Amino acid sequence: MENAIQLRACEAGDAAALALLGQATFLETFAGILDGADILAHCARQHDSALYRDWLADPAMRLWLAEVSPGGAPVGYLVLSPSTLPLDAPRAGDLEIKRIYLLHRFQGQRVGRRLMDAALQHARAAGAGRVLLGVYAENRAAQAFYLGCGFVQVGVRTFRVGATDYHDVILGIEL
């Protein structure tokens, strides 16, 4: 029997769950691909509870949480924000999916697509013309998911994880 997964908008008290889930999914996704020390340093800096508390308090940010039932354990999330991606021609009002992560055990159940749909629906309602995201250039599975959602490549960037620079592609979708 498959578990039921519910999506909900995040609340102020969700910072600890988001931080734990961010660390777990980043480690699960990149262990054996990126350097272990780099992963740990990245998680300590980029998946700290204080960062998520700040994001939850920022009215420009939107976060969604996927929870499994029974029990309500967090299994995935998405963060949508004003874009800070380095593009040659940024547009006023661009939004960025800063994070979309789902534990592997719950992939293949359309949860990622439901998170993406919630973010794109919100972006349209907010009047955004485009949503962007950065994805590790070697993460073919993630790129296939984004391309299947209608994203196309619009740029590249260097992304630091721990002490190492990696290459990302920047994808965008017109709304």
pLDDT, tens digit, for every residue of 44-53?
999 999 999 9
**Mean pLDDT, the chain, as a whole number?**
95
CA-nearest of 85, 98, 107, 95 to 28 is: 107
What average pLDDT does this structure show over 17-38? 94
pLDDT confidence band for 118 (50 / 70 / 90):
very high
Q: What is the pLDDT of residue 162?
A: 82
Residue 161 confidence (pLDDT): 87
Q: What is the pLDDT of residue 2?
A: 59
**In the block, residue with structure tokens 């991606």:** 85
Name the pLDDT band for 32 (thresholds 50, 70, 90). very high
DSSP E strands, 14-161: 62-69, 73-82, 95-102, 130-136, 152-161
Question: What mean pLDDT do residues 77-106 have?
Answer: 95
Specify the pLDDT at position 49: 97
Model pLDDT for residues 57-87, shown as the tens digit of each residue: 999 999 999 999 888 999 999 999 999 999 9
